[in-house]
Amino acid sequence: MKAEQMVIPENWREVSLLEVVQSEKQKIVGGPFGSNLKVSDYQEEGVPIVRLQNVEISKFKNTDIKFISKDKAKELAYHNFKKGDIILAKLGNPIGKTCIVPDYLDHGILTADVVRIRVDGEEIDRDFLLYVLNSYYVNKQLKIGTIGSTRPRVNLEDVRNLKVLIPPLREQQAISSVLSNVDKIIHSTQQLIDYLQLLRKGLMQQLFTQGIEHTEFKETKIGRIPKGWQLVKLEELLEVRSGKRLPKGEKFSDVQTSFPYIRVLDFKDGTINPNNLEYLTPQHKKILNKYTISSEDVYISIAGSIGIVGLVPDELNNANLTENAASLFIKEKKKLTKEFLYYYLDSNIGQKEIRLRTTITTLPKLAFKRIEKIPIILPSIYEQNQITSCFIGIDQIREEEINNLTELKKIRNGLMQDLLTGKKRVSLRT
C-alpha cells in the first residue's frame, strides 16, 4: 500500500508496519475465517474474544464481551491476543480505528474483523505507534485500499504493508507524551460534560417532583407533587401545529435563501444546529408559508425518533418545519413558560409520558391528539422560572465545555498531523 510522498526529518524512517515488528508475520495476525468461529461458539464464560464493536479510537470498549471454550481457544491459538497488544478494526467508520487491549483481559482470541499487532521490540514505543495508526496519514492509506468497495474492509496484508513514519525512540516517547497530556485534558473535559448531564437529570427528577422549598405534597397520576401545584393536560395550555414537507418530487434550494427549513436531524442539544440547514426557494415558501415555527414555541419530533424537544433560536424565528415534527404553541403564556415546557418534556417524567402515547409501528409516530393529552405539572410562573434557571445554568456551562472539547480535539488533530509527520518537532531534554 503506497503512502503519500512527503519530506521527513533526516533521522526518521519510513518503513512498513511489518518492518516495525522485525518482519515477523506472526506478530501481525487477523482473526480466523468466519466459518472457523461462529456465533454458535459464543458462551457466557470461558476465554474472551475481541470483536469489532470492542474497538474505538484509542479506547477499548468493555461492553458485551463474549467468550468461547478453552478447547475452541486452543484450536484457534494462532489468532490470539494478550494484554498490551494493539488491535485494529478491519472495517467500520473510521476504518482502521485502533486501541490497546487493557490489562484486565489477560489473553483471548480475535474475531475475523480485527487484526492484532504485537510490539515487543526495543526500538518502538507502543503508545507512539498507537497514535500513528490512528493518524490521518495511516487512515488515508487504508481508505485508498478500499475505494470501490460496497462494504469497505482492509485485508491483513494491507495492514502489514502500511507505511509508517518512525523517529528515534526518544522522540517517539516525547511525541506520545505530548499527545497523551492533551488526551488527558480531553478525557477530563468529557468527564465534566458527562457529570453535568447526570446532574441535570438528577435535578430534573428532584425539582419536577418536589419543587423548591415545599413541605406538603399530594399523590397524582404521575406521582407525588407539591400540594399547591396543578396537574393539567397540555391541550388546556397550548396548540399543536404541524410542519410540512416539500411537494412530492420537489427539491430544496441549491443556494442559501432567506427561508430556512428545519428537519429533525437539525435538532440538537435542545436547540437547532444551524450548520446543515436546508433552504426553500421563494416559490416553495409561498406554498409552505403557514407551516412555520416561532422562537416562542417548543418543537417536538413526532415520527421516527420520537420525543426530541427543544427551543428555536431567535435567528430562526418563523423558519419552516418538517412534517416529522410539530410546534407547541403556548396559548396560556401567563400559566406556562416555553422554557418550563421544554425542560419538563425533556425530563424522564415527560419522556415517559411521550413514550406511553407513541404508536409503535415500522415508523413510530406520535399523533397530535396524543400530545395534547400529556399531563403536565403547573407551578406558579415564579417557581417555573426558578426551576428552569437551574437547568439553564447547567446547560450554559455544559455548552461551554462542549465547545472547549471541540477546540481541544481540533488542537489534538493538528498536533497529531504535525508531530507524527515531523512537520513540527518536540524538544528533547538532555
Label residue 93 by pLDDT band (50, 70, 90): confident
Q: Is the predicted pLDDT of residue 90 greater than 90, yes or no?
A: yes
Domain boundaries, the chain: 13-167, 230-378
pLDDT of residue 310: 97
Q: Do the two domains 13-167 and 230-378 of this chain adopt the same fold?
A: yes
Q: Is the predicted pLDDT of residue 148 greater than 80, yes or no?
A: no
Q: pLDDT tens-digit profile of 25-49?
A: 999 999 998 789 999 999 999 999 9
Q: Is the predicted pLDDT of residue 322 greater than 70, yes or no?
A: yes
pLDDT of residue 2: 56
pLDDT of residue 360: 85
Q: Is the predicted pLDDT of residue 147 greater than 60, yes or no?
A: no
Least confident window among 5-19, 145-159, 262-276, 410-424: 145-159
Alpha carbon separation from 212 to 18, 35, 227, 341, 379 (Å, rounded): 65, 62, 12, 17, 10
Least confident window among 2-16, 126-140, 155-169: 2-16
pLDDT of residue 159: 95
pLDDT of residue 294: 97
Q: Is the predicted pLDDT of residue 430 greater than 70, yes or no?
A: no
Q: Is the predicted pLDDT of residue 295 greater than 90, yes or no?
A: yes
What's the mean per-residue pLDDT of the chain?
Answer: 93
Q: What's the rounded mean pLDDT across residues 88-106?
A: 93
Higher-pLDDT residue of 63, 159: 159
Q: pTM for the full model?
A: 0.84
pLDDT of residue 1: 54
| Lookup result for grid cell 393529552 | 373
pLDDT of residue 3: 54
The sheet that has 107-110: what strands, in order across it? 66-68, 47-50, 107-110, 80-82
Q: pLDDT tens-digit profile of 219-269?
A: 999 999 999 999 999 999 999 999 999 999 999 999 999 999 999 999 999
Q: Does domain 13-167 have CATH number 3.90.220.20?
A: yes
Label residue 162 by pLDDT band (50, 70, 90): very high
Tell me what percent of the residues of the chain surpass a pLDDT of 70.
97
Q: Does domain 230-378 have CATH number 3.90.220.20?
A: yes
pLDDT of residue 59: 93
C-alpha cell, 65: 464481551
Task: Look up residue 262 and give its amino acid.
Answer: I
Q: Report long-range pairs for 9-14 (Cβ below 8 Å, ≥24 apart).
A: 9/167, 9/422, 9/425, 11/167, 11/168, 12/165, 12/166, 12/167, 12/422, 13/165, 13/166, 14/163, 14/164, 14/165, 14/166
Q: pLDDT tens-digit profile of 169-204?
A: 999 999 999 999 999 999 999 999 999 999 999 999
Q: Is the predicted pLDDT of residue 334 greater than 70, yes or no?
A: yes
Name residues whose C-beta falls within 8 Å of residue 21's C-beta, 6 or more positions apart in sequence: 27, 28, 117, 118, 119, 121
Q: Is the predicted pLDDT of residue 80 greater than 60, yes or no?
A: yes
CA dihedral for 169, 170, 173, 175, sign (positive or negative): negative
C-alpha cell, 249: 418530487
